[in-house]
Amino acid sequence: MGMITDGPPDGGVPIVYEDAVADIYVAEGDHEVARIAATDLGDDVERVTGRRPAVTGSLDDLASSAVIVGTVGRSEGVERCLRASDVDVATLTDERESFVIETVEEPLPGLESCVLIAGSDRRGTAYGAYELSERIGVSPWYWWADVPPEKRDAVVVESGTYEFGPPSVTHRGIFLNDEDFGLRPWASETFAPAEADDRPGIGPTTYERIFELLLRLKANTVWPAMHPGTKAFYRYPENSAVADDYAIIVGTSHCEPMHRNNVDEWNDADGEWNYATNRERILAYWRSRVEAVADSENVFTLGMRGIHDAGMPGGETRAETAELLQRVIDDQRRLLDEAHDRPVEEIPQVFCPYKEVLDVYREGIDVPEDVCLLWPDDNHGYVRELPTDTEQQREGGSGLYYHLSYWGRPHDYLWLSSVPLGLVRSELTKAYDAGARDYWVVNVGDIKPTETELEFALDLAWDVEATRSVSSAEWLRDWAAREFGETHADDIAELLAEYYRLALARKPEHMGWSSVYPDTPPDEPAFSFVREGDEARRRVDAFERLVERAEAVSEALPPERRPSFYQLVLYQVRCAAAMAEKYLHAARSRLYAGQGRTSANRYADLAERAHRRIEGETRYYNEILADGKWEGMLSHRPRDLPVFDAPATANLTPREGAALGVAAEGRRTPIRGDERTLPALPTFDPGVDPDRFVDVFTRGDDPVEWSATPSDEWIDVDATEGVVEDERRLWVGVDWDAVPDQGATGDVTIEGAGVEKTVRVDAAAPRGDPCSDFVETNGAVAIEAERYSSARDGDPGVWTRCDVPGRVSGTTVAVEPSIFSSHDPGSDDAPLLEYDIELSATGSVDVEVQCIPTQALNERRDLRYEVAIDGGESAVVSIDPDGGEHDPQWQANVLRGAAIGTTTHEIETARTHTLQLHALDPGLIVDRIVVYTDGERKTYLGPRESAIER
């Protein structure tokens, strides 16, 4: 990370070197957070070196070197050292939350050198101390994820001036939400049970740890926990005092106006929560809190929703609701003005048009110009609305409320953290570019296990340009090097990237194909078990490889690093894999039982084992890991939703004796001996198709001796005889050097237990030197969007490879910049991608474009692409859904990680064609393109890519 060395000082300042240990100075008159951070810095030096600096408030009798920590204008030591430094004090003090770390020679009489950490304000000072802690080898997650510090014999700060800040986003922080299943039970039963006297809650001891973490991550804002099971933040008088000590700005969520936690603090005896009928009592309820916190550093949330996360009662129509909400805001403004000794325009306030409030806001709400508009995502990581050009000019600015954890429609994801960093990067930078730069709050659930994604979001909030200048893969690699060392950093970054890719295609919590509100039982997964080389098996195999890689890294790590690796990586990878196995093996058991396969029982057992494995991993996390430090922190079944229940498996009673069954790829039913048409494998296409499978299996309780005989030498089978005890998958391929020029048809005959079953094998005619990059095979041309044949920049807009993962590949292609003026259909100025494809038939074809389910910038914009073939008649598709939680199209999009548009085109000649894709609006991210000539969609992700191998 630079700045720190363990070599001889050579002009640098030794903090620990040989027998010398520097003192740490922080003035007694400085802010409390400066003292806290300086003390923590001393603890961190000891963690790294085993040597503890003295922390003092006196400039007398300092060691030969010292670390001078303090706030400009509040610290005598800082003021005196600044005179001997190169720091531009005027520039520093003009900036919010900024700091300088500088080595200074002979800053004071008797002091040979110092490391000066000067903050422009109290948070700047704290950030400076914690920045030095991280540089010497203490992770921000040293406590929250048990990351061991890097051990050093010496710590020397290299000579120089290191400047940081101001932050890109003014208010940056987290929302502790849905804490019923982790943070609250852990805090009240394990970490600080003495503070949960009358009922569970999150008290000052826990908040001290949370606030320290926020400062180490250079955040400044918290929305406290607020569920019905958690005592309100202000039920603990010490909580707000701790927040002030740590210089953390307290806000409240979209359904907690005026710092009131309604689910805990509103008394039913005070009447209904309805502003139309109970205005005076509600105003009094708000006034008492506003007056109590008026002297603290806060941000007030304006507006009103239901008692909890529901719409505001009181209006029969949207217009009536808008009128009532306007009255609420006007009254809240008067209340704030009366309770403060400064104008209401100077009091930080936000208005969050979340869920149904966005529709009410669009109806016409006059939010005062000085109030920050806090725009929402759709709860699944895709920004729903951003400011218009007019709204960007508001004095109060704009912000973003973003989810890494969520409870609600179409289905929760409260258990594992799986929003890809590439998506976080894309959506947050888009918000920043659109002017949402004043207030970012990230819903992180219980903090754990969103550690990595949370830090990445806050890194963007602190320095958006530096963080966006590297790919999410590079960021992950640097993060892994800090947490686990350089040796395995690349492997860890790669395996996490694969974890995010698999989760984008289907989150672990969504593998049941169920929904909430109302809660539905699990349904059949859409991954195909019989097509595209067994799509379901490919997903399970991908997870198995991922687990193997993660476990290999874990075993290779030093023992002291394994607990943190388990928390930050291994638990999530193992449990996501187990969830895939649980549902896909259970579904396979049902399919195979219907086919009469005895192996159905084995898959039922595998599914049940996967379910128990999730329970075991969570038990280990809570009860054994770190000697039980995290007892109660994780639940493997938040809200006890049906998706977390034991799997619905099927078992089979085998028939007596030996009985052979055969099933071929492409069919859900086994091959019968009396079929009129010989069942066929999908056609083999030269240079494109992978091998195809034929399953040989037992239907009885005895093993079966079998043989497989190809009819022709050009047909390859990976095994031709054997004994099967439950099932054996045969892989059939083609020797293209032996296939006749006109193509060929043959078969494979499987015999055993007195039966004979035959599968037809078709090989298409070998091609000459192809002119296209992608070819039709088995009725489809499948393309990974980033593998375009050519691209043309637009005016404005350019296509770029994007690190938002695709559902099949790790890359997508996006149109940049994130903000530009839209193009009209048919415009030659729109950015263009072209794909050269070969079609073998004429007539109608369907072009399916799979996009990442982003949404239009705001209600006045759209999110469209235009597609044509060979410059013919084009079709325009909008992939922007309504975005409301009840919109079935939006629900389908976020669950499958794709917004899919389909157009129909006429093909007059069978030859090479050029598919042309224009982006008409900013924000479009394209994942895959599939051209169907037979109209059939048979798999969840679509066919495997049909690129010509050259």
Q: What is the DSSP string of 370-428?
A: TSEEEEEB-SSSSB-----TTGGG-TT-EEEEEESSB--SS--B-SS----HHHHHHHH
Q: Give the pLDDT confidence score for residue 189 in this predicted structure.
A: 95
Alpha carbon distance 614, 751 (integer Å)? 41
Alpha carbon distance 900, 928 (integer Å)? 9
pLDDT digits (tens, 9 = 90+) for 504-548: 999 999 999 999 999 999 999 999 999 999 999 999 999 999 999
- Residues 362-394 as b/e (b if ≥16 CB within 10 A, e otherwise) read ebebebbebbbbbbbbbbbbbbbbbbeeebbeb
What values do phi and psi take at 906, rounded to 5?
Answer: -100, 130
Name the H helices within 27-100.
Answer: 32-49, 76-83, 89-94
Return all residues near 488 (Cβ < 8 A) that are at least 6 apart: 480, 553, 556, 557
CA dist list (Å): 882 to 426, 824, 854, 886:
21, 21, 12, 9
Amino acid at residue number 567? Q
Q: What is the dihedral of CA 916, 918, 924, 926, to 10 degrees?
A: 10
Amino acid at residue number 465? E
Query: How many other CB atoms are found less than 10 A from the CB of residue 543?
Result: 23
Amino acid at residue number 808? V
Alpha carbon distance 840, 767 (integer Å)? 12
Q: What kind and span of H or E run contains 265?
A: helix 262-265
- Coil/strand/helix, residue 566: helix
Q: What is the rounded radius of gyration, in angstroms, for the C-alpha atoms of the chain? A: 31
Q: Give the pLDDT confidence score for residue 594 in this predicted structure.
A: 97
825 contacts 872 by C-beta, under 8 angstroms = no
pLDDT digits (tens, 9 = 90+) for 892-925: 999 999 999 999 999 999 889 999 999 999 999 9
pLDDT digits (tens, 9 = 90+) for 840-864: 889 999 999 999 999 999 999 999 9
Alpha carbon distance 225, 213 (integer Å)? 16
Q: Is 19 exposed, middle or buried (0-12, 13-18, 19+ CB in 10 A)?
A: exposed
Q: Give the pLDDT confidence score for residue 690 in this predicted structure.
A: 86
Average pLDDT over residues 146-166: 97
Amino acid at residue number 791? A
Q: Give the pLDDT confidence score for residue 1 in this predicted structure.
A: 55
Amino acid at residue number 488? H
HSE-up of 578 (CA within 13 Å, CB side)? Answer: 23
200 contacts 256 by C-beta, under 8 angstroms = no
Name the H helices within 463-534.
Answer: 464-468, 472-484, 489-505
User: The pTM is what?
Assistant: 0.97
pLDDT digits (tens, 9 = 90+) for 462-513: 999 999 999 999 999 999 999 999 999 999 999 999 999 999 999 999 999 9
- Coil/strand/helix, residue 750: strand
- Residues 509-521 as b/e (b if ≥16 CB within 10 A, e otherwise) read bbbbbbbbeeebe
Return all residues near 793 (Cβ < 8 A) that are at least 6 apart: 799, 831
Average pLDDT over residues 95-124: 97
pLDDT digits (tens, 9 = 90+) for 20-42: 999 999 999 999 999 999 999 99
914 contacts 817 by C-beta, under 8 angstroms = no
Distance from first CA to last CA of the chain, Å, rounded? 43
764 contacts 682 by C-beta, under 8 angstroms = no
**What is the secondary structure of 308-329 as a DSSP string?**
SSSPPSS-SSHHHHHHHHHHHH
pLDDT digits (tens, 9 = 90+) for 799-837: 999 999 999 999 999 999 999 999 999 999 999 999 999
Dig out the tokens for 887 from the structure: 């919109």
Q: Grade residue 889 by pLDDT with cuts at 50, 70 and 90.
A: very high
Count of all residues that appear for the chain in the document: 950
- Angle formed by the axes of helices 472-484 and 421-433, nearest 10°: 120
pLDDT digits (tens, 9 = 90+) for 408-439: 999 999 999 999 999 999 999 999 999 999 99
